[in-house]
Amino acid sequence: MSAKFSCALVLLLGLFGCATPNWQMVKSDHVQYISEHFSVRLPSNWMRFGQESEGLLLSRDGVALQVITLSHAAHEEAFSPLEIISSSSLLPSELAELTIRLLKSQQGMRALQVIANQPAEIAGEYGFRLQLGFENQQGLNYQGVLYGLATEKRFFLLSFYATEIYYFQRDLPVFEKLVGSFELI
């Protein structure tokens, strides 16, 4: 797994132990983040961290309370811990199952439960939407929503995790709006 995808996955898994990054405040709902592989409209009053080719990390109140990550990896790297290579020929349901297997193989998510696993359209492409529940290592309950899709060359994962109490319900609409603005480049 590439270092970029690994860091995003570590954050995705609720470990939130990376050094304090250089955060930037998003001051307007009209900020379009454009990378080499995707573009997305950023939510106002959220903090962002990300480099041009490394994906994107967002939080409003701190990554231990809520976090949005947009990550991508070449097919050879996306599921390398499982020793499986993804491809655009895999069905969205197969990609969802691989994502669940990958999450279960990592530490940081105890008692992982799949609440929903359904097809979804992301940027005009067929993908999947997962809703998960889990407990972090300190016993705090989280919920998460993940969207995934495969293009010819890459696997993309858009994820949102937040504490089950208060932050998940409050910030889920923000994430869904962000997913609706996601475009492939």
The answer to whether 40 and 183 are in contact (CB under 8 A) is yes
Which amino acid type is present at position 118? Q
77 phi, psi to nearest 5 deg: -100, -25
Confidence of residue 106 (pLDDT cuts 50, 70, 90): confident
Query: What Å distances lie between residue 165 and 26, 63, 91, 130, CA to CA?
Result: 25, 15, 34, 19
pLDDT value at 5 more than 60: no
Domain ranges of the chain: 3-14+31-184
| CATH code, 3-14+31-184 | 3.40.1000.10
pLDDT at 50: 65
Residue of 128, 123, 126, 183 lying closest to 159 (CA atoms): 128
Find the mean pLDDT for residues 89-103.
95
pLDDT value at 10 more than 70: no
Q: Which helix (H) or strand (E) holds 114?
A: strand 110-122
Confidence of residue 92 (pLDDT cuts 50, 70, 90): very high
The answer to whether 99 and 130 are in contact (CB under 8 A) is yes
pLDDT digits (tens, 9 = 90+) for 132-163: 999 988 889 999 999 999 999 999 999 999 99
pLDDT at 4: 42
> Measured between alpha carbons, how far is 12 from 6 in angstroms, rounded to an integer?
9
Confidence of residue 54 (pLDDT cuts 50, 70, 90): low
| Among the ranges given (6-10, 20-24, 56-60, 75-79), the one the predictor scored with the smallest mean pLDDT | 6-10
pLDDT value at 167 more than 80: yes
The answer to whether 108 and 11 are in contact (CB under 8 A) is no
